[in-house]
Structure 1
Amino acid sequence: MFKLHRPRARLRALAAAACTAALGATLLGVAGMSPAGAAPAAQPAATPAAAEAVPTAAGDKVIGYFTNWGTYDRNYHVKNIETSGSADKLTHINYAFGNVTGGKCTIGDSYADYEKAYTADQSVDGVADTWDQPLRGNFNQLRKLKKLHPDLKILWSFGGWTWSGGFGQAAQNPAAFAKSCRDLVEDPRWADVFDGIDIDWEYPNACGLTCDTSGRDAYGNLLGELRKSFGTDLVTSAITADGSDGGKIDAVDYAGAAKHLDWYLPMTYDFFGAWEAKGPTAPHSPLTSYPGVPTEGFNSDAAISKLKSLGIPPEKLLLGIGFYGRGWTGVTQSEPGGSATGAAAGTYEAGIEDYRVLKNSCPATGKVAGTAYAHCGTDWWSYDTPETIGTKMDYKNEQGLGGTFFWELSGDTGNGELIKAIR
């Protein structure tokens, strides 16, 4: 069995030099996962008639990412979404991740996705899986969650930090890729679970884990074919939040591609972190710029403003929140901008820790640029709190944005402190 995790900080360090030389861009985005599992034979599904996206009402969407690898070392299951009270506050769940290989959408982790047998105490409805039932795993648990919350929508997210390397090949034949995705998402075993697809390509025509050279229009072409295949089902995409001049937003025609999508999820977090081991310390999810920010354009407002200036309707933009912090150690300065000796220790990975841990282990000591930071001993962390999320929700409303999304559900407290602040 593979243990899956978010390897972003480690992988950033390996990729940073190559990406800087190629495009002069700093790595941003949502965390990915380690490869595991193979794709089952996709069963054919009917392709609906082509249709443009029909966005839901602006402002009210609350979307949480649920990771399939959380079932391993995190011991976080679909049932936790219910017991924490989060299910009542979510409008959508993005299930992360499916893989992209051989120009197709493929299964990310077959055991976690649809094979794992849940006992009665682990199950959403208290009913244990049987050995002969056709669907188990997270997919069956999500089906049970939807029965309890009929208005809840679930999208299957493909790609992510580690698994975006396959999008370049997929873009060479976008129609075939789109058909493979539709066939997989609408596999008869779980067709009732999913209401659409989310594409997390990090990054089109720019550097992510690898440098993509598929071209400025490849992203829009791919999404156009997905819209044709998925018809009126949801088609969304998590995108860069690099608002700097000449940054990743400029590498793609996001305005042109917007017509194919219900909404964008600009990843307005991970702007700064301990992949720069010696600092300077800086909040990973600033809402605005501030004096001394290491890179101008690396903040939520810069990204949202730039995307809106391209002509993307604000109701098609969601504000991203991280349910975790990023931190350094060897820091003597309380305010941002201090030097460090390396990444602070984390439960699963150095330099990153869940909010549910940090709120007690290193409580916030200050605020900057609409987010919080904490200096405890020689460690320095930045993360959002219920208070700073309230500030960001005010901003979301002022900007007329379509809603909020966050990475990811297991980082919240057991009683859903952060999602309550969003809702």
Structure 2
Amino acid sequence: MRFRPTPRVRHRLIAGLTTLVLPFAALVGLSTPAAAAEATATYAKTQDWGSGFEGKWTVKNTGTTSISSWTVEWDFPAGTKVTSAWDATVTNSGDHWTAKNLGWNGTLAPGASVSFGFNGSGSGSPANCKLNGASCDGGPTVPGDNPPSAPGTPTASDITDTSVKLSWSAATDDKGIKNYDVLRDGSVVATVTGTTYTNTGLTAGTDYSYSVQARDTGNQTGPVSGARAVRTTGGVVDPPGPAGKTSLGYFVEWGVYGRNYHVKNLVSSGSASKITHINYAFANVKNGQCTMDDSFAAIDKAYTADQSVDGVADTWDQPLRGNFNQLRKLKAKYPHIKILYSVGGWTYSGGFGQAAQNPAAFAESCYKLVEDPRWADVFDGIDIDWEYPNACGLTCDSSGPAAFKNLMSALRTKFGPNNLVTAAITADATAGGKIDAADYGGAAASVDWYNVMTYDFFGAWAKNGPTAPHSPLTPYAGIPQDGFTSSQAIAKLKAKGVPASKLLLGIGFYGRGWTGVTQAAPGGTATGPAAGTYEAGIEDYKVLKTKCPANGTVAGTAYAHCGSDWWSYDTPATIASKMTWAKNQGLGGAFFWEFSGDTANGELVSAIRSGLG
């Protein structure tokens, strides 16, 4: 029952870089190797969006004298090519590619390194690498050796207010390990030759994330290990959420574009201290697998100091940027917050049917996405938003009533007891409706809770009306469809065996409306959807509270008639009454869609927090 705009362009935006080179036919001549200098060139695929990818080469001077210029050559298999590049001049002759330094980045002092990148099409990897005519591993003639393996995920011991001791299992390499880089929150803080390191000078009561990366004798770095979260002792812990209740909000990935809503807004609005959980929406479902949707917004978008949660600007070469890095910083500042990666949603639910054919393989793909070593410390579990199992949403599913239970069971098995596994589910309580179409009662044993989507019951997709509140708490005289209320949905789920403590009541931070309406009370006729900022028939609460103030209440939800427009939406007052109802029902708490619809001072989040107590 949630809608999202068309995905934005996901290509990297390049500012201040001088080169954007499409394939050429001419081959640039090679530079003469610098005398007595040694160097390495290593390659990494930093992004992959299916139809293309982003690659990065790093050239490092491992010798004792300066290098005045560099040229990297490699071969791509047929069908793979560079489409744009930055920080180097990239040309080709057929499948043979050459990259030369620009005027400002050719000189490398001993120990210095420089990187250049490119967008590519196809799926191949480079081969036959040469750097200044010699081997890319620093040898005279032999092609580059294999990079080292990932070290083991570090363990933490001897944790104090200001220090922690880290230990990890050794990496392996065909020519030997030289040393290890220790990364704290994604940045190198030490390079050591052994497999232990004690990090000192830390802040009491603060969360940190540590990982390790090995370097071989050719100075090639391997993949980063898994991340270990560490919280130092002491300090003042931020206040938890409502006592015994979950208060969860959705943060939408695409909100960083037109909505200009970023993780820092959770801090500036005061909302971060009033919630317990965040669902990051959405990952996609393709070919029965969990996949990242917009990698630029998620892991690559650079934030300036004033845009960043902690006031520290991103750098061009840090291993993780974007929303994920900002969420990592948010958790360091508010350690009580847990974050789940939400999969599916209205637009991306079409892939769940295929996923349900092999639940174990789907669960494995989701685990790899959520627990990717680059951001494993960011997420505390997974949320499934399948709209709808064995029923119709944007598309129709016919996977059978047991498919949802099987899928959630496989996810619980894979993610284990120490991760959260949740699901957003339908609130259609009509006889034979969507709640009846899947085994939500049976699946409840595998989930920590359900986000019951008790909103979007009515809207201007019925363009002529009748006007009705999109999130009614209870039935009322004249309601267009029996069974389309929050109370009936909760009652039906309880009757199917779902514990009340595993049900969260849904709140929309937006309204739905019609135009061409002459009747102030619900039940009037209309001519179509009212105008909205992003989509006709829908508008954020922060706009509606002044554009069309509420002047009535029906079934626990506010409504407003202004001019020829009619809107329904929740206000702080109606949220307070809904939270009282939720507590009286013994529910586990509440959730909302989504943060950017709230006011700049987070008044709806505050109402949920106060209402849950």
Q: What is the TM-score with the length of structure 1 in the denominator?
A: 0.89
The structure 2 residue matched to 1:164, chosen from 338, 349, 357, is: 349
Counterpart for residue 377 of structure 2: 192
Matches for 1:23-422 after TM superposition, within 5 Å:
29-35=1-7, 38=49, 59-232=244-417, 233-422=419-608
| SS of equivalent residue, structure 1 residue 288 | coil
Specify whether residues 59 and 270 from structure 1 end up closer, same or farther in structure 2 by C-alpha distance, changes over 3 A only: farther
Q: Deviations over 1:299-323 (max 9, x none)?
A: 1001000001111100000000000
Matched position secondary structure for 1:373:
strand
Query: As a proportion of its length, which structure holds more helix?
Result: 1
- Measured in 2, the distance between the counterparts of 1:58 and 1:88 equals 13
Secondary structure (helix, strand or coil) at the match of 1:62 reads strand
Q: Deviations over 1:403-423 (max 9, x none)?
A: 000000000000011011110
Change in Cα spacing, 1:130 to 1:44, as seen in structure 2 (3 Å) is closer
Q: Which amino acid aligns with 2:328?
A: R
Contact 2:242 2:274 in 1 (8 A): no
In structure 1, give the amino acid aligned to 2:426. T
Query: Unmatched 5+ residue regions in structure 2?
Result: 11-48, 54-122, 124-222, 227-240
| Aligned residue in 1 for 2:61 | none
Q: 1:279 to 1:45 in 2, by over 3 A?
A: farther
User: Which residue of 2 is the match for residue 5 of structure 1?
Assistant: none
Cα distance between partner residues in 1 of 2:429 and 2:7: 30
What do residues 142-188 of structure 1 show as CA deviations (whole Å, max 9, x unaligned)?
A: 00000001111000000000000000000111100000000010001
CA offsets, 1:67-117, max 9 Å, x none? 000000000000000110000001000000000001100001001000100
For 1:165, what is the secondary structure of its paired residue? Answer: helix
Q: Could you tell me how far apart the structure 2 residues matched to 1:342 and 1:99 are?
A: 32
Query: SS state of the match for residue 522, structure 2?
Result: coil
The answer for the alignment partner of 1:22 in structure 2 is none
Amino acid at match of 2:6: S
Distance 1:45 1:166 in 2: 31
Q: Tell me the distance in 1 between the aligned counterparts of 2:408 and 2:242.
A: 22
Distance in 2 separating the partners of 1:144 and 1:357: 29
Bigger relative CO (Cα 8 Å, ≥ 6 apart)? 1
1:4 is aligned to none
**C-alpha distance in 2, partners of 1:135/1:86?**
25
Q: Is the 8 A contact 2:423 2:450 kept in 1?
A: yes
Determine if contact 2:224/2:374 at 8 Å carries over to the other structure. Answer: no
- Quick one: which amino acid aligns to residue 30 of structure 1? R
Q: CA deviation at 1:32?
A: 3.9
Distance 1:44 1:403, change over 3 A: farther
Structure 2 length as normaliser, TM-score? Answer: 0.61
* Higher Cα radius of gyration: 2
Aligned residue identity for 2:493:
L
CA distance change for structure 1 residues 95 and 78 in 2, over 3 Å: closer, same or farther?
Answer: same
CA distance in structure 1 between the aligned counterparts of 2:265 and 2:253, rounded to whole angstroms = 13
Say whether the 8 Å CA contact 2:7–2:254 is kept in structure 1: no
Write the letter of the residue equivalent to 1:153: K
Measured at CA, do residues 256 and 117 of structure 1 come closer, stay the same or move farther in structure 2, by a change above 3 Å?
same
Partner Cα distance (1:231, 1:107) in 2: 22
Structure 1 unmatched ranges of 5 or more: 1-28, 47-55
Q: Kindly provide the CA deviation profile for residues 306-356 of structure 1, in whole angstroms up to 9, marking residues without a partner as x.
A: 001111100000000000000000000000000000000000100000000
| Superposed CA RMSD | 1.7
